Structure 1
């Protein structure tokens, strides 16, 4: 369940008010603070599995990337702030982030190699709002993991099924490639990633 606190605040106020050690996560949506439960069950399992797989590829390929435990991504207009399920950052680019060391805030799309969102019941956020804002920031690759097939027909087709969508930024706009059970995921950022969709949705290996 997602609960919104209706009073509008600035991004700076949101960061200042963000509680430590809360059992909830918080995001800023167009000036409104939204309280979100931390990922649990299958959602948490899939996010953890992907973090592990990406970490293995980063290490074996000797890439100068890392996966932070927590971070907030500020939208280009400064009206929103998101805490992705998984995010891969570029060590060389992070030096240009003015708020990273103090607040773990990402403001530049160039700092992000990949963002992953695991779809919950509020699927519109991942397919519409966040996609729009990540695209505007210039984030090169964005995954939407819809393991329950909750998204609208425009996003996952019909009949609905579990879908792994990879959005690649091309000339400032996202192009999408969708994968399903039986497919091997193709990632522009991680060409050496050997990841089957079935492994992600089962999150058992």
Structure 2
């Protein structure tokens, strides 16, 4: 995790920060952390999940929206993340108006897709932050072992971990290969781990 600035920013300063480049930043305990462009498989999985969630939301008539990559989630006093995919209440998005698109209220569901540089963040720091923020469901999609041995520390088999908030703690389940995914947010979802990884 490389920090872009030595001075810390408040959450409000982050909302209006611009370095006049196309670099995207997360705010981690007051420090700007640049986000690297995602590899193509990462982007395909994010797009697939966004479409899958939107289809299910539409089918069920829920007042939610699936968003990919350009809406942030505040997680601490001076931290905000840019999840790969989120499912959020439409009313919460509408309430942002013309303000920067960073939610101050918990999303329904957050997805992080593991990249080489984010493994520790996704499994440790973001897990703790999303739990503390009260995100009901958190997915970690770890596809890095898929067809490649070059990812040191990657799961030996692509693994999708789903963490569900029970009281103040996350309870996790892992899904691999043809395992059907069980999602409390979308209990009727018909999807296997392989369908996500092969998106």
Q: How high is the TM-score relative to the length of structure 1? A: 0.85
In 2, Cα distance between the equivalents of 1:54 and 1:9?
A: 34
Q: By how many angstroms is 1:180 displaced?
A: 0.2
- Cα distance in 2 for partners of 1:21, 1:60 equals 39
Number of matched pairs:
190
Partner secondary structure for residue 139 of structure 1: coil
Query: How many Å separate the matches in 2 of 1:18 and 1:71?
Result: 16
Contact 1:124 1:151 in 2 (8 A): no
Unaligned runs of 5+ in 2: 146-150
1:182 to 170, 178, 181: 178
Partners of 1:3 and 1:36 within 8 A in 2: no
Q: CA deviation at 1:53?
A: 0.7
Q: Is the Cα contact below 8 Å between 2:72 and 2:102 reproduced in 1?
A: yes
With normalisation by structure 2, the TM-score equals: 0.87
Distance in 1 of aligned mates of 2:161 and 2:174: 4
Matched, 1:195 2:191: yes
**Residue segments in structure 1 that go unaligned for 5+ positions in a row:** none
Measured against aligned partners, the alpha-carbon deviations of 1:165-196 in whole angstroms (never above 9, x if no partner) come to 00000011100010001111110000111111
Residues 1:25 and 2:24 are matched in the alignment: yes
Deviation at 1:20, TM superposition (A): 7.1
Aligned to 1:105: 102
The aligned counterpart of 1:163 is 159
- Indicate how the Cα distance of structure 1 residues 199 and 113 shifts in structure 2: closer, same or farther if over 3 A, else same: same
Matched residues in 2 for 1:196 and 1:56: separation? 16
Q: Is the Cα contact below 8 Å between 1:18 and 1:26 reproduced in 2?
A: no
Indicate the residue corresponding to 1:89 in structure 2. 88
Q: 2:111 aligns with which of 104, 107, 116?
A: 116
Corresponding residue number in structure 1 for 2:136: 140
Shift, 1:25, TM fit: 2.1
In angstroms, what is the RMSD of aligned CA positions? 2.2
Measure, in 1, the Cα distance between the counterparts of 2:51 and 2:93: 24
User: 1:43-102 CA deviation, whole Å, 9 max, x = no partner?
Assistant: 1010001111111111111111112352111123x121101100010134x2796xx221
Local SS of the residue matching 1:59: helix
Q: Secondary structure at the match of 2:3?
A: strand
